[in-house]
Amino acid sequence: MTTLFLTDELHAGHQMDGHPERPRRVQRIVESLMETGVIGDLEVPATAEATLDDLKLVHAPAYVDEICAFDPGEATYMIGNDTYLNSSSLRAARLAAGAARQATDAVLDGSVDNAFCAVRPPGHHAEVAAPMGFCFFNSVAIAAAAALSRPDVERVAILDIDVHHCNGTVDIFKDRPEVLVCSSFQDNFYPGRYLDYENDHVLNTPLAAGSTGADFRQGIEARWWQRIDAFNADLILLSAGFDAHLEDDISALRLGDEDYAWFIRELRAFAATATDGRLVSVLEGGYSEDVLGRVVPDHAAVLAGAA
Ligand SMILES: [Zn+2]
């Protein structure tokens, strides 16, 4: 297996003082991949920024033009619900979206088998015309839309295991039946949008506060694999949030390391037959450095076929 790993030191320039979505998240992931030796099993090229046209694949042109023209100078501005922008934020966000797109192209071209992007800021709360929830641009959605612009891709499945519902991804694709969106999330929780919205290609798996890894596995097994299989996707994109972990203070779900290990092993095995292995995992949330340092190396090692 060849697994592409994309990250960039410039993600660290995006800083919001005292905020849990902080540079150390990605830095800890890179450190842990090096400490465990997993990085030796990965292909690590440079990342390209998303172009304005890439961003406009899913975001309103006026939103993209307005936010990209904004110059915060030396200050930090709140530009959306719990979303702050400094002079490095947009570059970091465009690198995150660019990584998701670059990884997807590489997988579809067959130059690598699958990919993992350790990027920030996250993207799955960003709606068509609004930043929110630490997110500016919806990286996974941009990758999906770019994939669908290719003649060899007709359907894309987006799976989201972040503890927060992917309102942005649903907002973008709710009227595009060529994209299946499956989201597991803590119910009655942030973002409070689209939590009850379902249609024939948007599938919700809400988990009550206090739910365990067993509840998570049961929810996935009851609905996801069969639905994704029937959808006949050409590509699977994973919004990989690690904030449903018991040790992550941001939520009240109680997943353990073993549940994340179970999920990525199941997903990789499923993708091997469903999409000929074509799978791209993109970091969303996850705010405990200890959890990221343990769970993400295993995640990447499974993708690389080394675990
Ligand atoms: Zn989250």
pLDDT per residue as tens digits for the range 41-64: 999 999 999 999 999 999 999 999
Specify the pLDDT at position 306: 86
Torsion of CA 215, 217, 218, 221, to 10 degrees: 160
Ligand 1 centroid – CA 160 distance (Å): 10
Q: Omega before 61 cis (within 30°)?
A: no
Residues of the chain with pLDDT under 50: none
Pairing label, strands 3-6, 202-207: unpaired
Quote the pLDDT of residue 18: 86
**CATH number of the domain to which 118 belongs:** 3.40.800.20
Q: Closest by alpha carbon to 21, among 109, 85, 66, 73?
A: 85
* Distance between Cα 302 and ligand 1 center (Å): 22
pTM attached to this predicted model: 0.98
**Would you state the pLDDT for residue 296?**
98
pLDDT digits (tens, 9 = 90+) for 231-266: 999 999 999 999 999 999 999 999 999 999 999 999
Distances (CA, A) of 231 to 147, 148, 225: 16, 15, 10
Catalytic annotation, residues:
125
Q: Is 235 left (phi over 0), alpha (psi -120 to 50) or beta?
A: beta
Pick left, alpha or beta for residue 59 (phi over 0 → left; psi -120 to 50 → alpha; otherwise beta).
beta
Digit-coded pLDDT (tens) for 25-38: 999 999 999 999 99
Residue 62 three-state SS: helix
pLDDT for the residue numbered 17: 82
Dist. CA 166 → ligand 1 center (Å): 9
Q: What is the pLDDT of residue 283?
A: 98
**How many Å lie between the centroid of ligand 1 and the Cα of residue 287?**
9
Q: Provide the residue range defining the domain that includes 148.
A: 3-303
State the total domains in the chain.
1
Measured in Å, residue 235 CA sits from the centre of ligand 1 at 23
The Cα-based distances of 285 to 124, 166, 199, 243 in angstroms read 9, 11, 25, 6
Predicted pLDDT of residue 16: 86
